[in-house]
């Protein structure tokens, strides 16, 4: 049975499956902390929401990339991925705190593409910092 789990194809499929599952859970959690419904807004053509959500997807995937590269077990990868996600979600609240003149959620829901772009860049940029810390 050990030979089965040591197969590179099996390992890649396992990492892939776990990351997809975590990504679904994390996106559901992100949706719970925002005022708007991500997928409903995206369906309606809200580009700001699409950019912000895309940044979150990229950020989470990038964090998991670092965990896969630097940890040998699936459990360690999941643990560090969860930790990285928590740091990423904290950065969302810091972004909100640092913009007292307007509400991030309101601006993104109103399709303010400048705010959506900055939100995306913050998620992507900080995922590299979080990933480097995990490494």
Q: What digits encode the pLDDT tens for the residues 47-81? A: 999 999 999 999 999 999 999 998 878 899 999 99
Q: How far apart are CA 107 and CA 49, in angstroms?
A: 10
- Joined tokens for residue 110: 């109103």
Mean pLDDT of the chain: 92
pTM here is: 0.89
- Joined tokens for residue 28: 């559901």
Among 14, 94, 26, 96, smallest CA distance to 62 is for 26
Angstrom distances, CA of residue 44 to CA of 38, 109, 111, 116: 10, 11, 11, 15
Size of the chain in residues: 135
Domain-wise residue ranges, the chain: 2-134
């Amino acid at each position: 049975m050990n030979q089965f789990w040591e197969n590179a194809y099996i390992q890649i499929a396992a990492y892939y499956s776990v990351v997809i599952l975590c990504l679904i859970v994390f996106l559901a959690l992100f949706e719970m902390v925002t005022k708007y419904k991500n997928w409903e807004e995206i369906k309606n053509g809200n580009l700001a929401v699409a950019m912000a959500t895309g940044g979150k997807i990229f950020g989470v995937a990038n964090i998991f990339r670092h965990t896969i590269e630097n940890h040998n077990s699936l459990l360690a990868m999941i643990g560090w991925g969860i930790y990285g996600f928590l740091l990423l979600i904290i950065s969302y609240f810091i972004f909100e705190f640092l913009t007292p003149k307007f509400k991030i959620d309101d601006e993104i829901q109103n399709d303010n593409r400048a705010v959506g772009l900055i939100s995306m860049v913050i998620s992507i940029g900080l995922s590299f910092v979080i990933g480097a810390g995990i490494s």
